Each structure stands twice: as structure tokens, then as C-alpha cells.
């Protein structure tokens, strides 16, 4: 039944593009929902190809490792794309930041992270997104004991925090 659904979408749905994305170090086919081509959305130009659409994994294969020896070989996490639209004026975008500090949840899973390299990789990923957004960052801290996978950021100003927020809010990181 699932393969029939996939075939139907591939043949008949023009608003969806099929791609391959890395998730937890493995390749998966994904559906990428293309944005509407209305004059309103075309006037607000995204800054990178990954901001053009939303993607959803549709592979029926497991994304996780299948045995304990594979769990010891952890793959690098990367930004996967937006979960929802966050362009200026959307309901998911704050007009201004009330504070220069941000708390980002679900950046990591404390149940599967080990060693020290993941901490630096997580900090680097946050700094990369902030740099892309033009946000000046004063400090980044990964809360290793967080059950929610929290990372804290202190920006140089409220305006910088707003840019960082808009640059990361709604993005998948895995």
C-alpha cells in the first residue's frame, strides 16, 4: 500500500519534489514540499535553497542504528530544513526579541550523545546559523544535563537575538 502512495505522489503531485537527504548519517528519500508561487511569497526571497520548502522523510526504513556496535559510530548532525514558514510577518515570527538571550530546545538527544565531540559540533552548528543570520553571538552553552537537549545563546543585543531566533526557529537539526 505504501509503495502505491509513493508512486501516486511521484506521478501526480507537482507541488512535491523527491530528494535524498542525510539523516543520522544514513541516506533517506524525502518529499520536499515546494512553496506556493503566489506574488506574496515570491516577493520575500529566501536566502538559501533550503529555505525554499519543507521536507519530510518518507522512507519506511529505520533511521536508527540496528545494533550496539553501530551505535558507537555516531554521525555528524546537520541542519535539515525548515519545519514551517518563518518569514517576516508570518505567525511563527516574533516582530522583536525581548531579551538578548535564547534557549533552543531539542538540539540533541541526551540518551544517545557520548564523548565530547558532539558538544563542539552542536555549538558550531548554532554559531553557523547565527552567522548566516547576521547575529552577533557573545556566548553559547550546551546544557549537557538537559533532558530537552537545550542550548543557550547570549547575543550582543536584542536585535541580534531576533536575527538568531528568525534564523533558527522552525529548522530541523539532526
Nearest to 77, CA basis, from 17, 152, 151: 151
Q: What is the mean pLDDT of residues 129-144?
A: 94
What is the CATH code for 2-173? Answer: 3.30.70.330
Task: Tell me the HSE value of 134 on the side-chain side, using a 13 A CA sphere.
Answer: 4
Task: Tell me the HSE value of 94 on the side-chain side, using a 13 A CA sphere.
Answer: 17
**DSSP class of 16:** E
The structure's pTM equals: 0.51
Higher-scoring residue by pLDDT: 70, 116:
116
User: Using one digit for the tens of pLDDT, what is the confidence trace for 42-83?
Assistant: 333 333 333 333 444 444 443 444 344 444 445 556 555 555
Q: What is the mean pLDDT of residues 151-155?
A: 96
Quote the pLDDT of residue 66.
38
Amino acid at each position: 500500500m505504501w509503495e502505491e502512495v509513493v508512486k501516486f505522489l511521484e506521478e501526480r503531485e507537482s507541488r512535491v519534489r523527491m530528494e535524498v537527504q542525510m539523516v543520522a548519517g544514513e541516506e533517506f528519500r524525502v518529499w520536499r514540499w515546494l512553496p506556493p508561487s503566489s506574488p506574496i511569497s515570491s516577493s520575500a526571497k529566501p536566502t538559501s535553497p533550503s529555505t525554499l520548502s519543507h521536507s519530510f522523510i518518507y522512507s519506511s526504513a529505520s533511521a536508527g542504528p540496528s545494533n550496539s556496535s553501530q551505535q558507537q559510530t555516531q554521525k555528524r548532525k546537520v541542519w535539515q530544513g525548515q519545519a514551517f514558514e518563518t518569514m517576516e510577518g508570518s505567525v511563527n515570527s516574533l516582530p522583536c526579541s525581548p531579551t538578548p538571550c535564547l534557549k533552543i530546545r531539542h538540539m540533541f538527544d541526551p540518551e544517545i550523545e557520548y564523548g565530547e565531540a558532539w558538544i563542539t559540533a552542536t555549538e558550531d552548528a548554532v554559531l553557523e546559523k547565527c552567522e548566516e543570520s547576521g547575529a552577533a553571538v557573545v556566548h553559547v552553552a550546551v546544557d549537557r544535563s538537559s533532558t530537552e537537549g537545550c542550548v543557550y545563546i547570549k547575543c550582543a543585543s536584542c536585535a541580534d537575538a531576533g536575527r538568531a531566533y528568525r534564523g533558527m526557529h522552525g529548522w530541523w537539526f539532526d
